Amino acid sequence: MTTSTTEKRSRSRSGAPSAPTLRGTPTSRGTGQPRPGTSTRVRDLLLTRPARAAGSLLGPLTASIGAGVRRILAPVTDVVSPLGWLLLAVVVVLGTLGLAFGWDEARIAAVLGMLLLALSVAFILGRSAYAVELDLARTRVAVGDRAIGGVTVSNASDRTLLPASLELPVGSATALFHLPRLRPDQQHEDLFSIPTQRRAVIVVGPVRSVRQDPLGLLRRQMTWTDPTDLYVHPQTTPLVGSAAGFIKDLEGLPTKELSSADVSFHALRDYVPGDDRRHIHWKTTARTNTLMVRQFEETRRSHLAVALSTNTAEYDGEPGFELAVSVASSIGLQAIREQRNLSVLTQAGPLRSDTGRNLLDSATRIEGRVLRTTAVDLARTTADAVPNASVVFLIVGASVTPSQLRSSAASIPPGIRCLAVRCIDGTQASRASIGDLTVLTLGNLGDLALVLRKAAA
Answer yes or no: is pLDDT of 26 > 60.
Answer: no
Question: How far are the Cα atoms of 56, 60, 93, 232 from residue 52, in angstroms, in the given order?
Answer: 6, 13, 39, 55
Confidence of residue 454 (pLDDT cuts 50, 70, 90): confident
Distance CA 409, CA 407 (A): 5
Q: Is the dihedral of CA 260, 261, 264, 269 positive or negative?
A: positive
User: What pLDDT does residue 18 have?
Assistant: 43
The larger pLDDT score, comparing residue 270 to residue 258, is at 270
Confidence of residue 379 (pLDDT cuts 50, 70, 90): very high
Answer yes or no: is pLDDT of 12 > 80.
Answer: no
The larger pLDDT score, comparing residue 446 to residue 262, is at 446
User: What pLDDT does residue 39 have?
Assistant: 55
User: What pLDDT does residue 240 have?
Assistant: 66
On whether the CB atoms of residues 280 and 318 are closer than 8 A, the answer is no
**Angle, to 10 degrees, between the axis of helix 375-385 and the axis of helix 402-411?**
10
The predicted model gives 307-315 an average pLDDT of 95
Question: How far are the Cα atoms of 30, 160, 171, 399 from residue 16, in angstroms, in the given order?
Answer: 15, 106, 92, 94
Confidence of residue 32 (pLDDT cuts 50, 70, 90): very low
Q: Which of 48-57, 120-129, 195-204 has the lowest mean pLDDT?
A: 48-57
The larger pLDDT score, comparing residue 192 to residue 1, is at 192
The predicted model gives 235-251 an average pLDDT of 63
The predicted model gives 25-37 an average pLDDT of 45
Answer yes or no: is pLDDT of 380 > 90.
Answer: yes
Q: Specify burial of residue 309 (Cβ count, 10 A radius: 0-12, 13-18, 19+).
A: buried
Answer yes or no: is pLDDT of 43 > 80.
Answer: no
User: What pLDDT does residue 75 have?
Assistant: 60
User: What pLDDT does residue 301 have?
Assistant: 56
On whether the CB atoms of residues 170 and 155 are closer than 8 A, the answer is no
Q: Which of 84-98, 279-293, 349-363 has the lowest mean pLDDT?
A: 279-293
User: What pLDDT does residue 306 have?
Assistant: 95
On whether the CB atoms of residues 146 and 193 are closer than 8 A, the answer is yes
Distance CA 380, CA 376 (A): 6
Confidence of residue 242 (pLDDT cuts 50, 70, 90): very low
User: What pLDDT does residue 29 have?
Assistant: 43
Of the candidates 284, 295, 223, which has an alpha carbon nearest to the alpha carbon of residue 258? 295
User: What pLDDT does residue 22 have?
Assistant: 36
DSSP of 47-58? HHHHHHHHHHHH
Dihedral angle over CA of 416, 422, 428, 429, nearest 10: 20
Answer yes or no: is pLDDT of 328 > 90.
Answer: yes
Average pLDDT, the chain: 80
User: What pLDDT does residue 218 have?
Assistant: 87
The predicted model gives 425-435 an average pLDDT of 90
Confidence of residue 57 (pLDDT cuts 50, 70, 90): low
Q: Mind listing the pLDDT tens digit for each residue in 396-412? A: 999 999 999 999 999 99
Q: Which amino acid is at 318?
A: E
Confidence of residue 213 (pLDDT cuts 50, 70, 90): confident
**Angle, to 10 degrees, between the axis of helix 356-364 and the axis of helix 318-337?**
170
Confidence of residue 44 (pLDDT cuts 50, 70, 90): low
User: What pLDDT does residue 258 have?
Assistant: 45
The predicted model gives 268-273 an average pLDDT of 84
